[in-house]
Chains A and B, each alone.
Chain A
Amino acid sequence: VKHATPAVSPSLAAAQVGCETRVRHVDADPEAVRWLEAVGIAQGESLVVLRRASFGGPIHVRTGAGGEFALCLALARTIAVLPDGCAAEPKALMNPGETREIDGGEVEAREVAAE
């Protein structure tokens, strides 16, 4: 799994617990993207973060199809999401061109066309 190079969208790893988000894209190799699609984590699908394990452990999400999954943080970082349904985290809101450290990695915000 490659590490995320997210655009303006925050990664799932940064999403707030209890918030419903929508997957913007998955930045992993094609096989992993297809496999995630099979479990219900794909572009356009909604996700709710239910909880996070301690010390940077996995995050527990519920997919739009009703399944619940635990995803390791490295994988969650490859899933770019759009804030949806509740206020985004302050750190998720970035201006295009701005760089910021999120989850141990430097992230540069890019302009993304609205869907």
Chain B
Amino acid sequence: VSEHRNAPPTVARGASKVLAQDVLIALVGRPNSGKSSLFNRLTGGDAHVGNFPGVTVDILEGGATTPTGIRAAIADLPGLYSIEATVDPETDEGVAQRFLRDALASSRPFGVVQVIDATQLALGLRLTRELSRVQAPLLLVVTQSDVLEAQGACVDASALEDALGVPVVVVSARDSATRHRVLDAIEALMATAAALSIRSARAELSSDAIRSLAKRAIRAPAAGSIDARAERRRTFTTRADAWLLHPIAGPVLFVGIMAALFSAVFLVADPVTALLDAMKQSLSDALGHLLGTGLLASFVTDGLLGGAGTVLAFMPQIVVLTVAMELLDATGYLSRGAFLVDRLLRILGLSGRSFVPLLMAHACAIPAISATRIVRDPRERLTTILVIPLITCSARLPTYALVLGTFFATYNAFQKSLVFLSLYFAGIASALVASLVLRRTATRGRGLPLVLEMPAYRAPEPRVIARKALQSAQRFLRDVGTTIVAVSAILWVLLSVPVRSSTHTSIEFADANRATADAHASIDDTPIERSIAAFVGHALEPLTAPLGFDWRINVGLIGSFGAREVMVSTMGVIFGMQNAGEHPEPLAQRLRDATLADGSKAYSTRTGLALLAFFVLACQCVSTVAAIRRETNTIRWPAFVLGYTYALAYVAAFVVYNFAGFLGMR
């Protein structure tokens, strides 16, 4: 991380056709200033995450060529309010400040383009004042001119140029001519960059002068008409806020909108996931025919394709979630939601912005970890990422169902549902407690005071949102997908490669309806019993015996490190069951009947409770680990998550198992 922070800006080669010697242009602007639209226009949507300083904030970069052939690398800096006051070096401001400092220190030609929303000129000009002090050529691009024109007004670029001493271009990011006009201006800017005397003409404006300039620079044909139209726009936002931020209606609408978002992510994504799964299965069958039934075929179909299938299963969710988040952000509602729930989350050391990721985590941790990008405070964001694995996600449900069906078979439906409900609350409670503890330990430090811009409601731009969705999909494939496939291959080796010849084990079944010999036969025929995982499972028995786990459960836990739901099918393989994932009831029966060498029952309700306690807390999901590595850009935090969740899981399972024994449960 620190190397990145101190490294001069370099540019990833290849994919975006950006070269290290290209002129570097930094796009700077406040959030919601139209910067992303302009970036999209200039680069034609061809962008990638640049290799720039930064820990948790991606700086997108794309190439563009000016009319006379000058190549420029356009870097889209995160939306920010100031480059001088950073508050915290890990915030967007801190990242931008480092970027500018490093760019100025390098020998590469460098210029700054500030994007200002014409409808909020006075706000943007405060940042202009700070950028004027940067020793780099500065160009002002005033966007949203179409919105202003619709109001019967226009921007007086000359007035701005005269007052600020920097060139000004007035554009509409939706206009196709915008690209050429801005690239022309960039070319002119860089051509005169050698004569930096332009800086001497830059004026230092007071806050009053900025307000006065902002009024002067907007030309309205009829006196007062612009104010009237701006007021109407504000009135719409005011009216909408009266409902959306109402003390009673606001939270109700918020819950409704979040429920719709939550449903959309999974209702829209599920059919696509099913289609991708069917395609993967067809490919797997075809490869099975081609490669036969040996180890190689198993490795390709179960190991590699299995891992790829996991990646594909998450892709639709990631894309739909990104679209939903961008819609919320672009319309201006995201800030409103954070406003409504901020107080609640403050108790836990978090803020309103953490609500959406924490909510999403109940379905799946992977998109939830991506969604933490909306959290501005770096420590808060890290805390949210670290506690998300504790929230009960949907992948835990098959295992919970198996454990409940196996060890709580004699309990009635009401009691089972109570246990089920308590598992959900245990996930939420553990995440909340962990958040409180982490904010005082691992992620302690001054939190940023909440300052949320509440922008006027606005229609989102589909092109920008589509581009962001595509980028998030690419990023997921590259950074998370590769890790998932690699770990899937490793798990396949652990579970499938035999390390010793078949030996008889102590496994016996007391199922009166089955002959013991048949049971032995089915176990001996199972390669998993001779696998590395089985060897490790046996080796771990002294450690896990105090929890009531034997080698078979240990193997199940090893297998489910890839994904929690794999626990069911892994246990199915161990107990010689086919399709245990789809039909777990026979497996539950075998688990209930499993015995030790002395004929005593291998598992009891206590084992089930301990197993549930373990699954509530342990981060049994390689995809989550990979996503955390991606978002924190280090292996330190995923290792921390694995360490603390497994330690908690072990202690909780130990306490539950022994406390249940103390209460006389067998």
Chain A contact residues, CB within 8 Å of chain B: 1, 28, 31-40, 42, 44-45, 50-51, 53-58, 60, 64-72, 74-75
A69 near B451 with CB under 8 A, answer: yes
A32 near B87 with CB under 8 A, answer: yes
The contact string, 1 if C-beta is below 8 Å from chain A, for chain B 319-350, is 00000000000000001001110111010000
A64 near B211 with CB under 8 A, answer: yes
| A33 to B351 alpha-carbon distance, docked (Å) | 21
B126 near A72 with CB under 8 A, answer: no
Write out the residue numbers on chain B whose beta carbons fall within 8 Å of the beta carbon of A50. 241
B123 near A65 with CB under 8 A, answer: yes
Give 15 pairs: A residue, B residue, CB < 8 Å, sorted on A. Answer: A1-B446, A31-B87, A33-B85, A38-B82, A44-B207, A53-B342, A55-B343, A57-B342, A60-B245, A66-B122, A67-B123, A68-B455, A69-B454, A71-B450, A72-B451
B122 near A38 with CB under 8 A, answer: no
A37 near B339 with CB under 8 A, answer: no
Residue B449 interfacial (CB < 8 Å): yes
| A72 to B123 alpha-carbon distance, docked (Å) | 21
The contact string, 1 if C-beta is below 8 Å from chain A, for chain B 449-462, is 11111111000000
Given contacts A65-B126, A67-B123, is CB(A56)–CB(B343) below 8 Å? yes
| A75 to B351 alpha-carbon distance, docked (Å) | 13
Write out the residue numbers on chain A whose beta carbons fall within 8 Å of the beta carbon of B456. 68
Q: Which residue of B lies closest to A36 (CB)?
A: B451
- How far in angstroms is the closest Cβ of chain A from B73? 27
Write out the residue numbers on chain B whose beta carbons fall within 8 Å of the beta carbon of A58. 339, 342-343, 352, 450, 452
Q: Which of B87, B126, B245 contacts A40 (CB 8 A)?
A: B126
| A64 to B338 alpha-carbon distance, docked (Å) | 23
| A74 to B351 alpha-carbon distance, docked (Å) | 13
Q: Which of B84, B93, B123, B454 contacts A70 (CB 8 A)?
A: B454
A57 near B339 with CB under 8 A, answer: yes
Please indicate which of the listed interface residues B127, B335, B346 has the most CB atoms of chain A within 10 Å of its own CB.
B346
Residue B284 interfacial (CB < 8 Å): no
Residue B644 interfacial (CB < 8 Å): no
Residue B120 interfacial (CB < 8 Å): yes
A34 near B85 with CB under 8 A, answer: yes
The contact string, 1 if C-beta is below 8 Å from chain A, for chain B 124-138, is 001100100000000
B81 near A35 with CB under 8 A, answer: yes
| A23 to B351 alpha-carbon distance, docked (Å) | 25
B82 near A35 with CB under 8 A, answer: yes
Q: Which of A32, A55, A70, A75 contacts B339 (CB 8 A)?
A: A70
B343 near A54 with CB under 8 A, answer: yes
Write out the residue numbers on chain B whose beta carbons fall within 8 Å of the beta carbon of A33. 85
A45 near B207 with CB under 8 A, answer: yes
Write out the residue numbers on chain A whose beta carbons fall within 8 Å of the beta carbon of B346. 72
Write out the residue numbers on chain A whose beta carbons fall within 8 Å of the beta carbon of B122. 40, 65-66
Q: Which residue of A lies closest to B214 (CB)?
A: A65
Instruction: Enumerate the 7 nearest inter-chain pairs by beta-carbon distance, A residue then B residue, closest first.
Output: A34-B85, A38-B82, A57-B343, A72-B450, A75-B449, A35-B85, A65-B122
Given contacts A38-B126, A45-B207, is CB(A71)–CB(B449) below 8 Å? yes
B343 near A34 with CB under 8 A, answer: no
